[in-house]
């Protein structure tokens, strides 16, 4: 079953950013919104604390500065999409 959603009163600057992002990805506004929702909400499951700790240890990060650098890099890459 699918649901129709409506977003009202979108600020002009956000609507323009969405139009540009949709054009970059060769999608309609509707298609871009769906992609954003799927990217951010689709098929994710929460990690259990032991799983999270294991992933942190496996990352090889040693200092908070290294972690902050990695987070900034990933955030910047996401914002370019």
Residue partners of 53: CB distance under 8 A and separation at least 6: none
Residue 17: is its pLDDT beyond 80?
Answer: yes
Single out the residue of 58, 61, 37 nearest to residue 47, CA to CA.
58
34 by Cβ neighbours in 10 Å (0-12 / 13-18 / 19+) ranks as middle
pLDDT band at 78 (very low <50, low <70, confident <90, very high): confident
Q: What is the largest CA-CA distance in the chain?
A: 46
| Tokens (6 digits) for 24 | 């970059």
Residue 40: is its pLDDT beyond 70?
Answer: yes
pLDDT band at 7 (very low <50, low <70, confident <90, very high): very high
Answering whether pTM is above 0.75, one says no
């Amino acid at each position: 079953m699918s649901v129709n959603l409506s977003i009202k009163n979108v600020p002009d600057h956000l609507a323009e950013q969405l139009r540009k992002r949709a054009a970059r990805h060769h999608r309609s506004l509707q298609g871009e919104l769906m992609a954003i929702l799927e990217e951010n909400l689709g098929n994710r499951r929460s990690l259990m604390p032991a799983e999270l700790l294991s992933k942190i240890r496996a990352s090889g990060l040693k200092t908070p500065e290294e972690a902050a650098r990695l987070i900034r890099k990933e955030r910047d890459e996401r914002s370019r999409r």
